[in-house]
Structures are given as C-alpha cells and as structure tokens.
Amino acid sequence: MTIPDSDFNRAAELREQINLHNYRYYVLDDPQVPDSEYDRLMRELQALEARYPSLITPESPTQRVGGQPLEGFGEVQHQVPMLSLDNAFTDQEMMEFDRRVRERLVATDVVHYVAEPKLDGLAISLRYENGVLVQAATRGDGSQGEDVTQNVRTIPSVPLRLMGDDWPAILEVRGEIYMPLEGFNQLNRQALAKGEKGFANPRNAAAGSLRQLDSRITAQRPLAMYCYGFGEISDGPLAETQSGSIRRLADWGLRVSPEMRVLEGVEGCLAYYSLIGERRATLDYEIDGVVFKVDSLKQQKQLGFVSRAPRWAIAQKFPAQEEMTRLLAIDIQVGRTGALTPVARLEPVTVAGVTVTNATLHNEDEIKRKDIRIGDTVIIRRAGDVIPQIVRTVPDRRPPDALLFQMPDHCPVCDSDVIRDESEAVARCSGGLFCPAQRREAIKHFASRRALDIEGLGDKLVDQLVTQELIKTPADLYRLALPVLEKLDRMGKRSAENLLKALEKSKQTTLGRFLFALGIREVGETTAHSLANHYGSLDALKLADAEALQLVPDVGPIVAEHVVAFFRQSHNLEVIQSLLDAGIHWPPIEIPDAASQTLTGKVFVITGTLSEPREAIKQRLVLRGAKVTGSVSKKTDYLVAGEEAGSKRTKAEALGITILNEAELNALLEQ
C-alpha cells in the first residue's frame, strides 16, 4: 500500500514529538504538555501505523511493549566486562583509597573525583548502534549476562533512539535500573488489595520485574534508570573526563543522576558522603552508599585495574543497619559436601527494608565464641546483599530457660554419623552419596555449567526428580525416559525431549570436567584439570596415593587425602562405573614428558577472539607445563591476545607484561 507523503511526514513528526515529550517527562521531569495532549498524539500515531504497518519502526514509541512472552533469556557476551567495585566502610578507608590513587599517579596535588549516590538496583548495559537501542543485558558474572532487551524497551526513561546526531556508531551505556519508592509502595498496595504477596524491597521488585518472560508484565511495573558508565564506544572516549562523558549522555536523552558532583580531593568526597547520608531519607529511591571515581579518563587509564575491579573507583557504603529480635531455634542444614551448618530461626524483623527470619551461624565454634543460646535476644546485621548475621546477644534479656546449642551426633537428614576433623571447624555427614541432602546438591553440581553442563536440568527439576525418587545418583540421570519426564510438573513433551538431548550431548566431555563434576572435596575446576592432565586417565588417578598426588600442581596434602578417600569408597566407584556404562567418555589425553615442559612455572592469560577455542589453547599450554589463569596480575608472564582483547590487554600493557598474538604463541610452543 502506497503511503501518502502527508501521512508519512506526519508519522515522523509524531514520533519526534512523542520522544521529546518522553524525554522532558521522564528525564528532565519537566513536561511541556498535559497527559491528555500526550495521549492524543500517541493515539494518532497508533492509528497511522495501524493503517500503514510499514510505517512501524523498532524505535517507534508505540513499540515499547513486545508481543509473545519469551521462552527464556538468551546470553550476551559483554565486549567490555562489567566490573564490580571495591568497598570502603569508614572515612579512614576512603583516605587510604585516595592515598593509593595519588601515589600511583605520583600526584602531589589533589585528585578530582566525580561522585553520585550508589543506587540499590540492578546493573544493566545498553547497546546503541547508529543511535538505536539494539540490546540490553544484565551484568551476570561480569563477562556474560542475560539478554533482557524486550523488557528494558518498556522502561519510559530508556530512549529507543538517541537524540541528536553526534553520537558514536556503537555506544554501550552502563547504568542501574531501579524502582522508585513511590512506585514500589503503590505496587505493593495493589498486590495487597488483590490478596497477593508484595515485594520485600524495591531492589527485589526491580530485579523481579526485569526478569519477567512476558514484557507486558514488565511494562506495568514502575521502573526507571540512571546511567553512570560505559562499555564499548566505537569512536573512543566521549570527553576527557568521566563527568564530561556522562553529560554527553544527557545531551543524547539518556537519564543521569542529578546528584552527580565533581569534587576536589578526599575532603570533598567525605563532605559529599556526609551530605548524601543526611539526604538519604528524602530521596525517591533506595541507596546503600556513594560511588567515587577519578574524574580524569587519562588518570583512570594510568591507574588501571586489579582483579575484577578498577583502581580508580570505590563505593563508600553506609553503615550496616542493625535490628534486635529473638532467636527461636537453631536448625541444621546439610550441604553438598556434607557440611552441617547451623542456621538461626528468628522472630521476623525488618532490617534495611528486608524482612529477616533466618541468619547464618557459620559453625559450632562461632556459636560458642559469641555465647549464643536458643531464646536469646540478638542483634541482627544486614549490609547490602550480605547474608544476615547475628552480631551479638543481649545478655540482660536472656531468659532463664535459654538453651545451649549442641551439634547433633547424627545427620538430621539421613541419620549417618557426623564427623569433624581436628583441623576443621566444620562438622560433616559421613553419608556421602547416600544422604538425600548431599544427593540433591551433588546432582545439581554434576549438571552445572562448568561440570557436565546439562542444559535444562535446573534446580527445581532436580528437586522433583530427587523428591519422587526417580534419581538417587548422577548415573540415574542417564536412565530417565521420555514417558516419565513429560509427566513432571512444568515439563511437557518438548521440554522432556530437549532434556534428553542435553543429557546425550553431555556424555561427550573431558576428563577434567568429569572429575570436577564428581564433587570431590576441595577439588575445584582448576585442580580437576591439573589432575586430568597429569595422569591422563581415570584409572591412573584412582591408583595414585597421597604422596604421588602432591606432585600435581595445586595439590597439597589436604586435597590429596580427599582424593584418595573419595576413590577408596566403593559406592563412589560404583557410581563412576555406572556413569561410564551410560556412555560418558572423553578424548584421550597426551601425558607430557619432562623434555616437553618448556613453560613450567610460566603463567598465561588468554583473552579476545582467537582462531581456535580457548580450551584447546589452554590444553596446549598446560601440556608444556604452563599455568593458565583467568585474570591479569603482576604474576602473569604472558597475555595471549586475540581481537577485541579489551581491558585485560590494557592492564597487561600497564604492567609491562609480554603480549603474544597467535603466531607468536605458536612459535613459543614449538621451541
């Protein structure tokens, strides 16, 4: 259908007007027209697009809410990692941070910092290409997050198209999605009126709203966003300073904190921290501290990074909030490795906006050290996302019948003997794979991404399978059949078929992954691969004694004893044989001879896009005696860098670490 020029131009004009009104309303908080006029413009645009569907563009304000619900969230690889921040809890720690910054910069004068409140929400990354929002992803583990584009598009303060025309071709913006307190309270009032359970706090409400598979539900939630940082930028820095770069974002219609300030020296930071602390209760959103960043981007580059955090930024947290309540009971939880952990059951109390009913007690020694008794009045502390903990008791309020705690002699789940090594503070169930509590967690670990990576076998499904006694060991997973699976709650035939395919796919693995999946105590991912590469076969490893095992890198006497003890148990060997009989296999491993260990003692880090999988490169390096780690540090000898190497390359350059391309790596391996 041919679109008349008048209608074509009118649609473009309406889109521009509505986007401008959205910007003035949601970003500037300064609307130019009443709601009735805004609604009239929106209805006119909707009518035009209904008449001429080809007028609809992805960035049209009518397209914020998606159609059919998603089946799940896709994964997004962050081109520039989303780093975490180091924390300061006292003024002294802030002064130490400032001292370290000035010493590294060899600066005799004060450093300028940019500051803004630390929102208690959900970190997000927006990717704009040619000014259009094409992707939104959660932080995830910093390297990989979830694709929540469809939901983020529903947030009015997130522009679908940037204003102006001087933005870079690729612009990744980092920020925080949160729920304003007014919207949160209204949402909970509505839930209460419907007889539904409300959200515990605005952060949970924001996170839960953003992770809805149906974006139409997200669109009904009062979410907002402030932008505070950057990921990938195609044309380099936007300005010479952090604050200048953030102001550029505001020019393009992105919402930035009105509380952002540029401060002089640590004295300015402490004064700002005090001011925001006083105003905290008046803000329309929850914050848990203040973020300070070195303002100069040149100085940021000089300072670089340590581990997964920048040296040029810090979050000064507000003091942990504490409340008083009563300890009603102490229960015992049994973990995957059989560890018995005492958990305090508390009279419900609200701490920092969250209703707390449980708190960790760590172990029996900790309970004795704090003289905690059942029936005591206790002080509970909750700092940010940290698990609530009992700080101390209130002896003056101790009732006469308060009870001393005693660790049970038998496992509360399977009644097996409880043992405690002299060198450990933790008591453990001796039931191994026979204990239902350990069985459940052992199977979850076996199926996890870094173990056998059985896609679709989530925690709830494992709980069902174990509860219904359909599986008792990991080997039972490979005996599951379609008729049984499709009858489980929330499964269906398609999901069951997909799970069976994932189980079949998981049979092709590596010896290192298989050893890690077995859940041997103290044997993490790195140690499992070291054992695999050293012995080359499972049979050789099973026959090794503790003394021989300590010749393996990263294996000390404690780990060696745990490995020997694991393979000494007949029921463990039976489960392993059942797994092998089910078809689990791995490619043979070449056992290196001493002459080939040309890189012994050398530490490598691999980053960027390379012509072969990183796991294959890692295997070649390990066979030459090298150690491969995930982060750049002073101990790193070489960085193997492919295309788009990012922050690891920057850090390696700052530390003077040798950087190799693939050709140079191959030459080194062939020496």
Domain boundary among 372, 397, 422: 397
CATH of the domain at 57: 1.10.287.610
Is 346 part of a structural domain of the chain?
yes
Structural domain span for residue 119 = 87-317
In terms of Cα–Cα distance, which of 85, 137, 139 is closest to 307? 85
* Residue type at position 19: N
Is 460 noted as a catalytic residue in this protein? no
Q: In this structure, what CATH number is given to the domain that contains residue 644?
A: 3.40.50.10190
Among the candidates 317, 349, 377, a domain finishes at 317
Q: What is the token pair recorded at 452?
A: 């056998």
For residues 528 and 303, give the distance between their C-alpha atoms in angstroms, rounded to a whole number: 35
Q: What pLDDT, on the 0 to 100 scale, is given for residue 107?
A: 66
Backbone Cα Rg of the chain: 29
Assess whether 310 and 334 both reside in one domain: no
Residue that is last in its domain, among 474, 491, 506: 506
Q: Is residue 423 part of a domain?
A: no
Distance (Å, rounded) from C-alpha 319 to C-alpha 177? 23
Mark whether 262 and 383 lie in a shared domain: no
Structure tokens at 358: 């449980």
pLDDT along the chain (671 residues), means of 10: 80 81 64 69 80 77 59 81 85 92 82 94 92 90 85 89 90 93 87 74 83 82 92 89 94 92 94 91 88 94 83 86 88 86 92 82 87 93 70 89 92 81 77 75 89 91 90 92 89 91 94 91 84 89 90 82 81 88 89 70 88 81 81 90 87 91 89 75
Specify whether 358 is located in the same domain as 493. Answer: no
Does 265 fall in a domain?
yes
524 located within any domain? yes
Q: Do 550 and 489 reside in the same domain of the chain?
A: no
Examine the domain organization and report whether 558 and 614 are in the same domain. no
| Catalytic site residue from 118, 444, 618, 651 | 118
> What is the 8-class DSSP label of residue 168?
-
Does 415 fall in a domain? no
* Beta-carbon count within 10 A of 305 CB: 20
> Quick one: 194 and 279 in the same domain?
yes
pLDDT value at residue 175: 94
Amino acid at 643: E
Domain shared by 195 and 267, yes or no: yes
Which pairing describes strands 224-233 and 418-419: parallel, antiparallel, or unpaired? unpaired
Contact 111, 265 (CB under 8 A): yes
Structure tokens at 330: 């102490």
- 305 and 185 in a common domain: yes
- What lies within 8 Å, CB to CB, of 634 at 6+ separation is 655
Q: Are residues 305 and 270 in the same domain?
A: yes
379 and 496 share one domain = no
Residues 312 and 330 in one domain: no
Structural domain contains residue 412: no
Number of domains the chain contains: 6
| Distance of alpha carbon 68 from alpha carbon 240, whole angstroms | 44
Instruction: For residues 131 and 36, state if they share a domain.
Output: no
* Chain centroid offset of residue 473 CA: 29
- Per DSSP, 25 falls in state I
CA angle 145, 151, 156 (to 5 degrees): 120
CATH number at residue 359: 2.40.50.140
CATH classification at residue 542: 1.10.150.20
Q: Bridge-partner residues for 581, per DSSP?
A: none
Residue 333 lies in a domain: yes
Whether 138 is in a domain gets the answer yes
